[in-house]
Chain A
């Protein structure tokens, strides 16, 4: 058990302690394996009976026979809302992190960091309530403007959904929700920029902004990417806020590319139907949707990991 422990090998205390630590690690591996295994094993029977194309169909008919369900709609709404969220949150998150670490005067820096962290303390159900009832109605101005002037573009075409319940509103609320994640991690890496690197840039005659571009941003890039990926994972999987805000559509509603449309994400689809997991077959269909969401976040995380490892290899 302790053959890899470099120091103190052979002592009973070390064996017990090291063994427990290793056990915890193995438990984590077991949990993730189990999650994947269970999702796959319970989704497969339902997928086998699916008479529609699972990837390209927009139908979701799991009550009767034959089963006909596909994820095209869910995938589109999930990705679109998350992309909107990232387009807003990443630049803002990096900007706020730079503000806190490089620009804010000392007295403001800590307070600013705490205030941004507070955004993460707001539960997603409160974001949902606020997004639908308070913030959402204010989106109608932007919606009218975009529909009027850019309505020819499929993303901004007119749809019959109220401004509070559109994919765009969800995207904006999601961006607020992931902002503290991106900011917190980015500011940590920015703050760790070696003073030597910052001094080097300043001593070459860099302005503060040039120092940030030469020393702080390159040093923090892997951290920002990993922060953004964590934020993206959170946005893709966010459930309750999306469920509350987004207007779910009746089955058979015509496809639309518009950000002013309604719909459901993987997560909100599952949550909306939580009360109806009455047959294994039906639950299996939702588990299949959950499995795709799992794979989606898995891919996002893997990309982040590869990027980080590459940049590490370069800086070492």
Chain B
């Protein structure tokens, strides 16, 4: 129907071919064929899009497991380093690289999470006016900074300007730059989801603002923040670009963040990725499988904590 005329019951669109058909009789089962077809088509398209998206995931996981999974079943993989092992020899393990990856990730999180969470608190709970706009804008820029640029910056600062060596801590600094925006944005989203009524309720009871944030807002948003942190961590642990520039590989176990080389899983993969000798190829895919496993565990942990840490309100 095209026009509404309250005075009469006459159909104003009678004889107007471009108007949609009136609900003659009831026409409840009547719908334009084109609309029904488009609706069905859309459904098929969405299902297909999902099915196709699953192909690379299955394919990648299958490749990594079939080529590198066997390495993970050998207990030496989890206890030995590659010290003294050559590309022609089977053996050795990845413990040096696993340890390096975990250590760098942990230190990165220890530095990046407080900065990120506090920045998010500033933006949501305190920030007003131009400074907050500027901070939010800078976080956006930081989000978009490619890892290689972050690494270049740390290189320019650490090596060119200060004249220091390429050490693990320089890698950590680059990873911190990459992790901060992830933490800020995820925390910010979670804090925004906390209903204002909760804050006002606390203010009305005379609770100071900072206590409201610490006691009411943060616990409510906790699970989401943890998930954001773990996903950010998973991202930086898989990062390879800063390692190429700042963290050369070694076959030995290393624990010093400030001196010498520290091996990681990504650099272990990178080291031998062009090798054609089977023992080296196996180790490359083994390291890839280990890295994926590590990151999957982090993801899973994030989800579990998010699930069980959810406030009961």
Q: A: which residues have CB within 8 A of B? A: 4-8, 11, 13-14, 16-18, 20-29, 31-35, 38-39, 42, 91-92, 95-96, 98-100, 102-104, 112, 114-130, 134-135, 176, 179, 183, 207-210, 212, 230, 233-234, 236-240, 244, 266-267, 270-271, 274, 277, 280, 283, 286-287, 290, 293-294, 297-298, 300-301, 305
Contact = CB atoms under 8 A, between A and B. Distances in A.
A103 B43 contact: yes
B46 A99 contact: yes
B16 interface: no
A95 B45 contact: yes
Interface stretch (B72-80, B87-95, B155-163): B155-163
B300 to A, nearest CB: 9
B103 interface: no
12 contacts: A4-B129, A29-B134, A39-B153, A92-B53, A95-B48, A121-B296, A123-B239, A209-B41, A237-B146, A237-B147, A244-B273, A297-B144
A266 to B, nearest CB: 8
A277 B140 CA distance: 29
Interface in B120-160: 121-123, 125-129, 131-132, 134-135, 137-150, 152-153, 155-157, 159-160
Given A4-B129, A18-B126, A290-B152, A129 B238 contact: no
Given A28-B142, A212-B42, A290 B148 contact: yes
B59 interface: yes
Contact of A230 (B121, B143, B152): B143
B143 to A, nearest CB: 7
B241 A119 contact: no
A13 B211 contact: yes
B125 to A, nearest CB: 7
A103 B127 CA distance: 39
Nearest to B234: A121
B42 A208 contact: yes
B26 to A, nearest CB: 13
Contacts of B208: 7-8, 11, 13-14
Interface of B: 31, 35-36, 38-39, 41-43, 45-50, 52-54, 56-57, 59-60, 63-64, 114-116, 118-119, 121-123, 125-129, 131-132, 134-135, 137-150, 152-153, 155-157, 159-161, 177, 180, 184, 203, 208-214, 231, 234-235, 237-241, 244-245, 266, 269-270, 273, 284-285, 288, 291-292, 295-296, 299, 303
B144 A298 contact: yes
B123 A25 contact: yes
A92 B49 contact: yes
A28 B296 CA distance: 29
Contacts of B125: 21
A277 B138 CA distance: 29
A122 B299 CA distance: 11
Contacts of A23: 118
A128 B63 CA distance: 12
Given A24-B122, A28-B138, A207-B35, A230 B50 contact: no
A267 B148 contact: yes
A287 B146 contact: no
A297 B145 contact: yes
A235 B133 CA distance: 26
Contacts of A290: 148-149, 152
A294 B140 contact: no
A25 B132 contact: yes
Contacts of B213: 17
Contact of A92 (B52, B146, B240, B303): B52
Contacts of B150: 35
Contacts of A293: 146, 148-149
Given A25-B119, A126-B291, A209-B39, A5 B209 contact: yes
B56 A28 contact: no
Contacts of B152: 39, 270, 286-287, 290
Contacts of A120: 231, 234-235
Nearest to B208: A8
Contacts of B64: 126, 130
A31 B119 contact: no
